[in-house]
Structure 1
Amino acid sequence: MPELKKRALYDTTAPNKSTGIINGESSNILNWDDASKKWAYPMYKNMLRNFWIPDEVSLINDRNQYKELTEEERDAFNKIIGLLAFLDSVQTDFSSKVADYLTDSSLNALMTVLAFQEVVHNESYTYVLSSVTDSQTQEKIFEYWKTDEVLLERNKFIAEGYTAFTENPSKETFVRAIVYDVILEGLFFYSGFAFFYNLARNEKMLGTSKMINFINRDEQLHVTLFANILKETLKENPELDTEEFAAFVREQFKKAADLEIKWGNYVVGDNIEGIHSYELESYIKFMANKRTRELGFGNIYEGYRRNPMKWISVYNDNTTGKADFFETTVTDYNLVDADNDFDSL
């Protein structure tokens, strides 16, 4: 496999502007006005505008409402929080390992911000659980990923894809690992997001759902970052942009969608008022199509071009600032359009 070189700590003989996404020359000194990718600095500014901390969100009402959830809602709530805690913990570490091989110092900076945001996400899960339940239940929830068979199956899918890169870094395993990252941040969160937004539209657990909205917004930027990295890498290394790789992308997204549908049926199914299993399955396929299009590989499912869960659209897929659904007025609620709708293609 083609060799993949780590970024040097500094290089006095190289230019400040990187000559490549990977295996390029770079002094590793960051000058945002001399970054090689014009989209890097606007993305950095957007990530900063999104800055938030869990303590900003009051969970006083959630504490009482958690006790009033149905048994099915409370079980789904716990398991989904357990899932998110695992994914964001792994993502924090993985992002730094990817950054080691990004020649461009501006992209390394973006990955550093991304890793910080994942740490904040994990803090939010601890904050939620410590606010609504006791320490014994919290500890049990953070252990779910070790024992729940359905959870283990989908987590193993991501972990094996990441490990193939971390244990054998090459150009090929690098681009494949980026695909798994987009799956994690752009597909594996979304049945969980739908569950929390469904609670919110029924006036339940609004504080928790507000933090999920913040996390959703961060993750969309992360997807965009990794999608840009993949497309730029393939452009600079055309030998990697093969039909074999395209088939790999489509195959892995189909496997991931099957796992996410299985998880959604397991944790939500038809047991939660307001969400139906057939609707959730269609939504996951819609999101899988959306992600593969964003990567440049077209739809993997015939149809599924429109969001079947239209009510999710009010929790907009915002990448331009900190405003969120929970801070809008009734007028804003009615002004969802093609610029901020989940349906935007």
Structure 2
Amino acid sequence: MKKLIAKTSVRDNIELSETPSYPIFRELYEKQKKAIWFPEELNIQQDALDYESLTAEEKDLFDTAVGYFCSSELLVQNVLVNSFFPMLSDPHAKMSFSTQLFMENIHSDFFEIVLQTFNMDREKMYRVAFDDPILKKKQNLIVEEIDKISYGKIDPETLQGKKDILRAILLNNIVMEGIFFYSTFAHFFALKDMGKMKNVVSGVELVLIDESLHLQNGIESILIMLDENPEITEDAQYVQDIRDVILEGTALEIEYVKHKFGDRTILGISYGELERYLKYITDRRLEELGFSAEFNITENPLRFLQKEDVKKLINFFEVSSTEYTNY
């Protein structure tokens, strides 16, 4: 019986079927293909005056967000290549995830251009996730688990191997891209709500669209693996551990925004609003994976992000990516 995660020869699965085993990945590939964009289409230089007008607190928040993404997008690429991508058996799944990998390159390129445009300190930006102790803890949560696959010999034919791979997908596509990244997006969209950094935020909107599809890649992979390997869900402790690691990621992100904001309001948002927003996101991620909500927050507390949800994540397939970047 064919399974999504398996040992395969390079000569296996080299035919695209009109009736794919996993049609969702053909659909996600097509959506990602339609959403491809290039950072050169954005006139980021036009935001130079806005950047100079930011207060010291605002500029620190903006710079930290850019620096975090500079290294984190490259980290996502490493995770994909070094862990579960080699174990994918289905050609459509490989097409979907390799398109994700390509778009991570675009994101790295975009944030690199932002860094250069505003003459940021390159060394400092790429050290952000290492020098800030809480950001380092966030990164360690991802790296330490997934490096067990990178450095070890995971056998995808064993139950433990499948559990390790599922956890890698969860940490990469759900916790990092679906919680950590979504948290930082809020800082950029707060700038847009203030009427600042319009072109940079337009690029971040496009990154958000991509990440919503990467999130779907992860969710569908996990649900398929659970369906194909029901014995995973019979391990109650493992299932609880999966829920716990999602909540651990949320706790780390809440710790970070509390450290960053304290009792201050920056870019028009406060720590309390961001904490509630993170709990709202976490409930969505838990429910998407079949868990019950933890915090029971049903409405996005950041109103400017409610608008992003509607405008970008529902309607963007109706137009081409170049229409979004035509400024």
Q: Show the 5 A alignment for 1:127-166.
A: 127-134=113-120, 137-166=121-150
Q: Which residue does the alignment assign to 2:303?
A: 310
Amino acid at match of 1:295: L
Q: Which residue does the alignment assign to 1:239?
A: 231
Q: What count of residue pairs does the alignment treat as equivalent?
A: 307
1:286–1:307 CA contact under 8 A, matched in 2: yes
Q: Which residue does the alignment assign to 1:174?
A: 165
Q: Which residue does the alignment assign to 1:21?
A: 4
1-structure distance, mates of 2:26, 2:261:
39
Q: Which residue does the alignment assign to 2:158?
A: none
Question: How far off its partner does 1:327 sit?
Answer: 4.9
Q: Deviations over 1:10-54 (max 9, x none)?
A: xxxxxxxx8111127782214152421121211111001110011
1:200–1:209 CA contact under 8 A, matched in 2: yes
Segments of structure 1 that go 5 or more residues without pairing to the other structure are 1-17, 329-345
Moved more, 216-225 or 260-269: 260-269
Q: Which residue does the alignment assign to 1:102?
A: 88
2-structure distance, mates of 1:202, 1:211:
17
2-structure distance, mates of 1:85, 1:295:
28
Distance 1:62 1:42, change over 3 A: same
Amino acid at match of 2:44: L
Aligned-CA RMSD value: 2.0
2-structure distance, mates of 1:271, 1:310:
16
Q: What is the SS of the residue equivalent to 1:52?
A: coil
Asked if residue 86 in structure 1 is aligned to residue 61 in structure 2, the reply is: no
1:151–1:263 CA contact under 8 A, matched in 2: yes
2-structure distance, mates of 1:165, 1:289:
28
TM norm structure 1: 0.84
1-structure distance, mates of 2:243, 2:130:
29
Moved more, 79-88 or 114-123: 79-88
Question: How far off its partner does 1:276 sit?
Answer: 1.3
Distance 1:203 1:30, change over 3 A: farther
Amino acid at match of 1:118: E
1:99–1:107 CA contact under 8 A, matched in 2: no
| Fraction of identical pairs, as percent | 25
2-structure distance, mates of 1:32, 1:125:
37
1:246–1:297 CA contact under 8 A, matched in 2: no
